[in-house]
Amino acid sequence: MNDAKLKEALQKQDEYLFFWGHLENVPVGDDTFNDLSRDIIAAYKTCHRTTYLGKLVFSWEDQKRLERSEIGIYTEYIGQPILPYDCNFVIAQQDAQLEAMVIEWAVDEWPPKFELFTRILQRIKDLNGLTLSWR
């Protein structure tokens, strides 16, 4: 696996973020930052061939559809356009354990279980996935 393009894409976004000082300082709707996130996804696909975009945040309606198993958390990335916030992470293969944790998180009652969210982030990392940022 040649991950030079992925490292380069991550570095470019880090440098852009460094320019702004912090993610919250990047203007909402910043096309450059969002394009850098898209570049990370494309580079990830170059490294891993199969690539799945995953969602962590769902509308109320989609939470209910998720509970009824009408939708899932993954979309295979095949080069389609990606809008900001369409996905929150990228992994090489779908993972049933991660999906179960995300569904539990998404349909959880208030207050949310932040320990579960921490486990979700760790699982993404364990799968050699990446979390994505958008503005």
pLDDT in tens, 8-43: 999 999 999 999 999 999 999 999 999 999 999 999
Q: Is the pLDDT of residue 1 over 80?
A: no
Q: Give residue limits of the domains in the chain.
A: 4-131
Global confidence as pTM: 0.91
**Mean pLDDT value of segment 106-120:** 86
Residue 79 CB burial class (10 angstroms; 0-12, 13-18, ≥19): exposed
Please give the structure tokens belonging to residue 4.
Answer: 């030079």
CA-to-CA distance for 31 and 63, rounded, in angstroms?
Answer: 28
How high is the pLDDT of residue 134? 96
